Structure 1
Amino acid sequence: MKNIATLTMNPTIDVSYDVDKMQPTHKMRTENEWYAPGGGGINVARVFVRLGGHARCYYLSGGATGPALDGLIDRHQLVRTRIPIAGSTRVASAVLERESGKEYRFVPQGPHIAEREWRECLDRLADVECEYMVLSGSLPPGVPDDYYARIAGLLRPRGIEIVLDSSGAALAAGIDAGGLTLIKPSRGELRQYAGRSLDDVDAIGKAAMEIVEAGKARFVAVTMGHEGAVLAREEGPAFLPAPRIKAASAVGAGDSFVAGMVFALASGKDEREAFRFGLAAGSAAVLRAGNALAYPEDIERLLARIEPL
């Protein structure tokens, strides 16, 4: 088993609650209050370690909420490297309305990061020891759009495999710089990058293959929620439908997908089996309410329901 490192530039303290009914101006009493460390890379590490792998989390943390995030990461027994910042770590909320079964998510933009802070992060990463580096999540205000591309350029010459899961300008800059092992855009994120409508599986596969054929990424896994996912690789595109399940939450599905696929690749599986495992992990994440993410027993159960490619 190879070890990985993850970077979370804009982490969160994830809070989840249940309420009977969402009502404006009323004080709504909550139940099932739950706190967890969150943000793309931290979520990936949580699932990767559950599966039996080894992961080190690099993340920015500061302000009054920073120590709380650090403590939550320690409770999950994750190996961590904290880059201190002046701004406060954001707090994101997921509220389940029992009456309708709908989930409401509130996600702040995040603190402004000073140049000296994001440069210190680059300095810390220069000495990272891992086989896979997972760059996951949004970039907070103040960080250059090409930040993930800079990190990839720093680490790739050392033989480190780069996995990118972001959106918008950060994703576009990372793809355009090239040399990536895996990217995992959602259908909407790929649509934004491609600049055109992607209304069916064939169109999604074609857009993903353009990235592979241009040599920008070896694998492109495009998630489509409950519909499934598309994998683009040198041999061509492939589609797998998601197993039919009753969803309890959408939090962390994409991060669980990345963790599952990278775990399988790091374990020596080929991209087809890794893609299946990633789809099972992403589906497993939505079985549980709040921000629990995927658990190995759920992944294995769902994997048996996903046809081989």
Structure 2
Amino acid sequence: MKSFDIVTITVNSALDKSTHFRGLVPEQKIRCDEPRFDAGGGGINVSKAISRLGGTSLAVFTSGGATGKMLEELVAKEGIAFEAVAVESWTRESFVAVDDNTNSQYRFGFTGGKISDEESDRILETIAALKPKFLVASGSLNEGLSVNFYSKIAEITKKSKAKLIVDTSGEALKKALEVGVYMIKPNVGELAKLIGVERLELEEVNEAAKQIIAKGGAEIVVVSLGPQGAVLVAKDVYEFVPAPNVAKKSTVGAGDSMVGGMVWALSQNKSLKEVIRWGVACGSAATMNEGTQLFKSEDAKRLFEWLKNK
């Protein structure tokens, strides 16, 4: 198999479905427009974002049942190289519906099917066989997977000297930090939990991130501030980037787009100042599109130019 500088792993992949309707009425049949289908799940979205910036990656993801086959077809249609790890449980679906009468968005997510010990081992073996420069582990964990799953991936990347980017939350993230990773992207609430406090103010984010770095949990901590922008903290680096003011249509995939932009920039040997700006540009550009479409490359590039001197 061809080697890739960037590999993404999605254990809880999803077939994303989105539609429009007019008026939400209880106990009534809601007529919806023809649905749009997209390949989804954290790592897959990251690979899609990288592709839209002209980069290449290998997307490794679980695939089961008819929904899994459709997911594979959608990833192939995006022109993304992939390796699907077959699992018994059908690939989950997620559903986004927009009420055109109110412009309200409703997001429905289903839990992923159970992953057996044998299937878990097969995923880890697939990752161990690859030797990328950057490995992105993104998304929630399925039922049946230990909270140590991402920490097992961290052990693998330490041996191969790959730079591991983990985008998840809760105990799975805490366990990965115990081994040590290259980069994480928590929001402010998640960062507070990681250092054991109830909440953090913006002026406390830098010190909180440096606590994680000092303990060897991560080399780079990128903190998403939602509509305020984002902060990148490294050992001797602090970069705050405000989010550009754009017409927001959907926040689906914005975080994954942000990670994709940053990983692409890292693979292009960009400075950390540029890395965080590419991240914010891609994340903001994703909010300009409906449903589960992520971003258009021209929007991301235009926003990056605007952010260059911010």
TM-score by length of 1: 0.95
SS in 1 for 2:233: strand
**Residues 161-193 of structure 1: CA distance to partner in whole angstroms, max 9, x if unpaired?**
111101111111111211x21111122322332
Measured in 2, the distance between the counterparts of 1:292 and 1:32 equals 15
Measured in 2, the distance between the counterparts of 1:167 and 1:258 equals 14
Task: Indicate whether 1:166 and 2:168 are aligned.
Answer: yes
How big is the shift at 1:44? 0.2
Identity %: 34
Measured in 2, the distance between the counterparts of 1:20 and 1:62 equals 33
**For the Cα contact (< 8 Å) 1:42–1:57, is it kept in 2?**
yes
**For the Cα contact (< 8 Å) 2:20–2:97, is it kept in 1?**
yes
How big is the shift at 1:304? 2.4
How big is the shift at 1:236? 4.4
How big is the shift at 1:214? 1.7
**Paired letter, 1:125:** I
**For the Cα contact (< 8 Å) 2:188–2:200, is it kept in 1?**
no
Task: Indicate whether 1:207 and 2:236 are aligned.
Answer: no
1:241-280 equivalence runs, <5 A: 241-280=242-281
How big is the shift at 1:307? 5.1
- Of stretches 4-13 and 268-277 in structure 1, the one that deviates more from structure 2 is 268-277
Measured in 1, the distance between the counterparts of 2:79 and 2:297 equals 17
- Of stretches 210-219 and 279-288 in structure 1, the one that deviates more from structure 2 is 210-219
How big is the shift at 1:204? 2.2
Superposition CA RMSD, Å: 1.4
Measured in 2, the distance between the counterparts of 1:133 and 1:266 equals 11
How many residues matched? 307
- Specify the alignment match of 1:286 in structure 2: 287
Measured in 2, the distance between the counterparts of 1:255 and 1:184 equals 10
Unaligned runs of 5+ in 1: none
Measured in 2, the distance between the counterparts of 1:230 and 1:198 equals 16
- Specify the alignment match of 2:95 in structure 1: 93
**For the Cα contact (< 8 Å) 1:198–1:204, is it kept in 2?**
no
Unaligned runs of 5+ in 2: none
Measured in 1, the distance between the counterparts of 2:237 and 2:73 equals 44
SS in 2 for 1:273: helix
SS in 2 for 1:291: coil
- Specify the alignment match of 1:183 in structure 2: 184
**For the Cα contact (< 8 Å) 1:226–1:242, is it kept in 2?**
yes
Name segments (4+ residues, structure 1) moved above 4 Å. Answer: none
- Of stretches 251-260 and 166-175 in structure 1, the one that deviates more from structure 2 is 166-175
Measured in 1, the distance between the counterparts of 2:192 and 2:74 equals 35
**Residues 218-266 of structure 1: CA distance to partner in whole angstroms, max 9, x if unpaired?**
1111112111111111124332210111110010000000000111111
Residues 1:78 and 1:40: Cα distance change in structure 2 (over 3 Å):
same
**For the Cα contact (< 8 Å) 1:13–1:36, is it kept in 2?**
yes
**For the Cα contact (< 8 Å) 1:251–1:290, is it kept in 2?**
yes
- Specify the alignment match of 2:39 in structure 1: 37
- Specify the alignment match of 2:139 in structure 1: 137
Residue 111 of structure 2, aligned match among 79, 101, 109:
109
Measured in 1, the distance between the counterparts of 2:34 and 2:205 equals 38
SS in 2 for 1:222: strand
Task: Indicate whether 1:49 and 2:85 are aligned.
Answer: no
**Residues 37-65 of structure 1: CA distance to partner in whole angstroms, max 9, x if unpaired?**
10000000011011111110111111232
Measured in 2, the distance between the counterparts of 1:156 and 1:19 equals 48
